[in-house]
Amino acid sequence: MIEVAALVAAPLFAGGLSLTVHRSALLHAINLMSMAILVTAEIMITRTMLKDGPFTALEQLVYLDALSTFILFIIGTVGLACSFYMRSYLDEQVARGVIAPTRLNLFFFLFHMFLLAMIVATIANSVGVQWVAIEATTLATTFLIAFWRRRESLEAGWKYLILCSVGISLALFGVVLLYYSSLHVLSDVGQALNVTQLLTVADRLNPHVLKLAFIFILVGYGTKVGLVPMHSWLPDAYTEAPAPVVAMLAGVLEVVSVYAILRMRVIVDHAVPFAFTGGLLALLGFASLVTAAFFILIQHNYKRLFAYSSIEHMGIAMIGFGVGGALGTFGGLFHLLNHAFAKSMAFFAAGNIHRRFHTVEIGQVQGVSTAQPWTAMALMISGLALSALPPFSSFASEVQVVTALASQGVPGMWFTSTEGMVTIALSDQFERLALTAVFLMSVALAFGGLIYRITGMVWGTPTEGVLRQETWSLGHLPVILLAGALVVFSVFLPPPIRQLLEQATTILVIQ
Amino acid sequence: MQILPYNGAQLVDLCSALLLLTCFAIVAQRRLSSCVDLFALQSAFLVVTAALVAYLTGNQHLYIAAALTAVIKVIIIPLVLKKVIDRLNVKRELVMYVNVPTGLLICGGLVMLAFFIAQPIIPFGFLLTRDSLAIALGIVLIGFFTMIARQKAVTQLVGFLVLENGLFLAATAATYGMPLIVELGVFFDVLIATLIAGIYTNRLQDAFDNVDTNRLTVLKE
Amino acid sequence: MLQAVILVVAQVMVLLAVSPFLVGLIRKVKARLQLRRGASVFQPYADLAKLFQKQPVISTTASWVFTATPYIVFASTLSAGLLVPTFISQTPMNFAGNIIALVYLLALGTFFLILAGLDAGSAFGGMGSSREAIVASLTEPAMILSIFAIALTNGSTSLSTIVQKTALLEGAVADPSPHLMALAALFIVALAETGRVPVDNPATHLELTMIHEAMVLEYSGRYLALLEWAAGLKLAVFLSLIANIFAPWGIATTPAPAAMMVGFLIYLVKIAVLAVVIGIIECMFAKLRLFRVTDLLGVAFILGLLGLLFFYILRS
């Protein structure tokens, strides 16, 4: 299983090597090399996976199925895009003296560790190891978020560290509870946290304990996803972190955290009626969607704008998973992919604008189309994709989610609870209608807010003293590719990706 | 002397109760360095609990966990925190968001809540460590509360560590420890998190001339 | 009957004899820890003897409350002492009252002391009284809660039964957590009630801090001797209570002479150890500001509450 070992070894060696190197070109070369190895390994894994089905590797430590392979695909693609973008971004920051050249290798080291932790979280068979890796992502990224060492970035970093550590600790309690329930069924202590083992006995686990465990894990990993009400660190961190780091946070880390929740959910769904997890996911999804839509409307800082848009889209994906069924789940997964592409693009554009205009205030940025035509294009495309407008694949995934919502409604039926105290007897149909209306209204609000702000930034004349030209750089390549992918995926999903998505959907749907 | 299982359960129970007791002491304590001392004491009780469970159940890897706790949480982390406090030159916390008696009352309520939550799942546990799971959850909640109620970066950190102690107690009590690889990972994470937070506190001090986290209000809507 | 009378007499003698010794021991420990030689542990006996010979001076504004108080305080504390097992688990006055009576006998003494502090008409007395009232009103609930936790785990409010049961290892130790919480609470209560360091400092007469000393400031001669002795008795009562409820091992469970002798020796060791612990605490901690005393007593209250909580939850 050389490709699985390469997944872990590449970022590990690249990280170690980066610490010993000081030349910028060399650091970038190491980074691109490691990314190339990663992507190659991922392609090989995808092929094996699609040919032979799920498999374990490295003494049962690694488990790869369609779901984790799909997540690996997102990590690889966005990671590669970031690496290209970093080439132009970091060099400019060093040239401007924002980053001391001596600290560049630290940046790369942390970046590799961040990647490594996310990969381990994705491929780990044991839920416990997955927890360790997700906590490690927090540790690797705190310094990346506070990399500018300004007061604001330190504040954002501290908030991120504390909130996520606490959230993650609650998730550990959930993992302990899961282990507690599985120990009674599984005799092999060392394997009792492995997904492969848990899935075989999941229907015999104690439902009480599992419910409690799921709540803890949802709150814990939900903090890392940035679901409302555990989201307060997210806008701050996204504003302060360097652009490539934010692209990774928004594009990949959120996806990996969602993945951790979904893994747990599959196990819980075997023993507990689907309505329990579905209802909770949809609840958090709606909370995130509605809150984020409101904040998008009143935002005057473009990085925070995109941050809240992240919360909104994670909310939409959560609603998709919560509603469940083949359509909702497929839509949710597809939406994760689309959001990862669109959002990393948006933050690349935001990074470019910030470097040129030196402000994050929307009101002070005008005429990006004259000053930075390429960036303006990227900003427009990502804005439209994030608003889920037709030529982009995010439109397709959002339509899938909303169709599932309108046809199936949210499981668990909050309004017509039979056992609880809430007995407002509303018909099932009305509930579906009402929820769909709330969904569409929030999306419309977010659309209005986003497009209004972005057009305000793109058109007009730039303020005096802003350089009005943009030379081609390597950083534009990933933007073009991502934009192309977003358009192409809406009409044609490449067969391997489609297969991955379909198989992942069948893993997640338990009836 | 042969320890009967019945007496063993009492001893484990007693140790968990001592852990909870130190939690309350930490909540009531205003002096930063005493908070750190109390944390070290609590970790020491945790070591005793883990070793006791290891001895009573014969789970060898719990001894490793106990030894790691002793090294990391009783010695290294308190030393690091003491260093940080020395450098910060702040001795006590004059203002808290919640005054001490109210804080204690809230913590008492949290322990009740923990028992309430854990009640349905306690009967599935091992006889030896039944009550410890509820106590552990109580400690987790109190740690959580400490982080919210305190302003100093260092006390927030202590709250986080208390929370971690609660988690470790839960793992020891509910499942006689996690698989070794997970446990090692958790220790590693906690250690790194503390070091990072220590470095952060220094940088916060440099940037804000203060480690009151309520000064961290540059970022808002 | 005769046996009961003998027991009463013996208990009274023991308490009266031991209490000045405890006060002296604590002072000695403190002195040694502060690298002083300190007075002999028997110095308080000499102090009492001297005070009894002196003529008392009474303020002209004082009413009968002032002169009656020392006797009431002394008597109530001594009768409280008769409810607490010392060297034998059967208390002499077991028939007359239980753990709740104990709390209220002690409260009676405190009440009269507060009155007397006001009665003498000096500014310090009033200040001490108001402070004592704060402390007393905060210690009472904590003490009651912790005592309830103990009484519930043993299924009895009679101290004899509680100690007897624990000594014979029946039931009580089955749940150590309520006991532990109650012990911690009761220890804090004991420190507060006997005017020990984190709450009050018996060694100073500083107007900013003193509580107990302020109330008895106007007393002299035999009245002062009685109050000092009563304070010592209160200390002995609390230490006996803590020692015998939480560590009753070695106490005589039958009125056999040999068992009683052993019980007496072990009792002496136990309370001496506790006194040393108090001495160490007095050296290690600074006295709390008056407004911080509520924090400490809040801890005691919550611990008592938790003890009760543990009992109910572990039993259900």
Interface pTM, i.e. ipTM: 0.90
CB contacts, 8 Å: B120 with chain A: 208
Q: How sure is the predictor about C229, in pLDDT bands with cuts at 50, 70 and 90?
A: very high
Task: Give the model's pLDDT for residue B211.
Answer: 66
| Residues C155-167, mean pLDDT to the nearest whole number | 82
Per-window interface: B 27-86 vs A, CB < 8 A: none
Judge: B121–A209 Cβ closer than 8 Å, yes or no.
yes
Residues A381, A10: Cα–Cα separation, whole Å: 33
The confidence score (pLDDT) of residue B210 equals 66
Closest residue to A190, CB basis, from B140, B147, B179: B179
Nearest CB to C298 within list B10, B16, B104: B104
pLDDT tens for residues B119-146?
A: 877 776 666 666 788 889 999 999 999 9
Q: Which residues on chain B are in Cβ contact (under 8 Å) with C169?
A: none
Q: What pLDDT is attached to residue A422?
A: 46
Which residues in chain A show pLDDT less than 70?
412-427, 511
**B174: burial class by Cβ within 10 Å (0-12, 13-18, 19+)?**
buried
B188 touches chain A (CB under 8 A): yes
Q: How confident is the model at residue C121 (pLDDT cuts 50, 70, 90)?
A: confident
Helices (H) and strands (E) in chain A, counts: 20, 2
Of B14, B18, B24, the CB nearest to C303: B24
The per-residue pLDDT for C89 is 81
Q: Are A501 and A334 in contact (CB under 8 A)?
A: yes
pLDDT at position C7, please?
83
Q: Is residue A267 part of a domain?
A: no
How much is the mean pLDDT over chain B?
A: 83
Asked if residue A26 is part of any domain, the answer here is: no
A274: contact with B, CB 8 A cutoff: no
Domain ranges of chain B: 5-209
A75 falls within a domain: no
Average pLDDT in the C101-118 region?
92
Q: C215 at the B interface (CB within 8 A)?
A: no
A258 shares contact with chain B (CB less than 8 Å): no
In a domain, A436, yes or no: yes
State which residue of chain B sits closest to A210, comparing Cα positions. Answer: B121
What value does the mean pLDDT take over residues C73-81? 93
**C-alpha dihedral (B19, B23, B25, B29), degrees to nearest 10:** 150
Count the neighbouring beta carbons within 10 Å of the beta carbon of residue A333.
30
- Nearest CA to A288 out of A350, A333, A223 is that of A223
Q: How many angstroms separate the most distant Cα atoms in chain C?
A: 61
Q: Which residues of C touch B101 (CB under 8 A)?
A: 294-295, 298, 301
**In this complex, which chains have at least 3 CB pairs below 8 Å with chain B?**
A, C
Nearest by CB to A154, which of B120, B133, B203?
A: B203
Which runs of consecutive H residues, i.e. helices, occur in B124-208?
130-149, 153-175, 180-208
What does the pLDDT look like over A50-101, one tens digit per residue?
998 899 988 888 999 999 999 999 999 999 999 999 988 988 888 888 888 8
In angstroms, the CA B10 to CA B1 distance is: 16
| Per-residue pLDDT at C194 exceeds 60 | yes
- Domain ranges in chain C are 2-315
**Nearest chain B CA: its distance from A149 CA (Å):** 8
Nearest to B51 by CA among B176, B164, B174: B176
pTM of the entire predicted model? 0.86
Q: Which amino acid is at B27?
A: V
With contact defined as beta carbons under 8 Å apart, do A366 and A510 qualify? Answer: no
CB contact under 8 A, B10 and C301: no
Does C300 contact chain B (CB < 8 Å)? no
List of chain B residues whose C-beta atoms are within 8 Å of the C-beta of residue C138: none
Residues of chain C found within 8 Å of residue B25, distances taken between Cβ atoms? 299
Least confident of A297-306, A472-481, B39-48, C32-41: A472-481
The count of other CB atoms within 10 Å of the CB of residue B3 is 13
Question: Do B179 and A166 make contact, defined as CB atoms within 8 angstroms?
Answer: no
Out of A128, A151, A173, name the one closest to residue B170 (CB): A173
The residue length of chain C stands at: 316
Q: Write out residues 48-77 of A within 8 Å (CB-CB) of B.
A: none
Residue C23 has pLDDT above 90, yes or no: yes
Pick from A306, A144, A165, A304: nearest CA to A223: A165
Chain A CB contacts of B180 under 8 Å are 190
Measuring CA to CA, how many Å separate B24 from each of A440, B105, B140, C51?
49, 10, 12, 44
**What is the Cα–Cα distance from A401 to A332, expressed in whole angstroms?**
7
Neighbours of chain A (3+ CB pairs under 8 A): B
Read off the pLDDT band of C8 (50, 70, 90). confident
Q: Is B140 on the interface with A (CB under 8 A)?
A: yes
Are B14 and C301 a contacting pair at CB < 8 A? no
Chains B & C: contacts with CB separation below 8 Å: 64
Helix residue ranges, H only, C155-288: 159-167, 176-193, 212-215, 221-246, 257-284
Q: Do the chains contact at A240 and B181, CB–CB below 8 Å?
A: no
**Nearest chain A residue to B143, by CA:** A166
Helices B153-175 and B77-88, interaxial angle, to 10°? 170
Q: Is B212 on the interface with C (CB under 8 A)?
A: no
Q: Is any Cβ of chain C less than 8 angstroms from the Cβ of B18? A: yes
Q: How far is C298 from chain B (nearest CA, A)?
A: 5
Subunit contact C306:B111, Cβ cutoff 8 A: yes
* CA closest to C314 among chain B residues: B131
Contact criterion met (CB < 8 Å) for A172 and B160: no
Look at residue A336 in the predicted model and tell me its pLDDT.
96
- Chain B residue with minimal CA distance to A212? B117
Tokens 């002209």 -> residue: C60
Which residues of chain A does B216 touch, with a Cβ-Cβ cutoff of 8 Å? 155, 158-159
Range of the domain at A395: 273-511
Q: Please give the pLDDT value at position C174.
A: 55
CA distance B49 to B132: 10
The structural domain count of chain A equals 1
Residue A106, domain member (yes or no)? no
Instruction: Indicate contact of B with A: 3+ CB pairs under 8 A.
Output: yes
- DSSP assignment letter at A167: H
User: End-to-end CA distance of chain B, in Å?
Assistant: 64
Most confidently predicted of A304-318, C182-196, C282-296: A304-318
Mutate which of B84, B117, B121 to test chain A, going by most A C-beta atoms within 10 A? B121
Residue A352 lies in a domain: yes
Q: What pLDDT shows up at residue A306? A: 95
Q: What is the mean pLDDT of residues C18-37?
A: 93
pLDDT score recorded for residue B194: 87
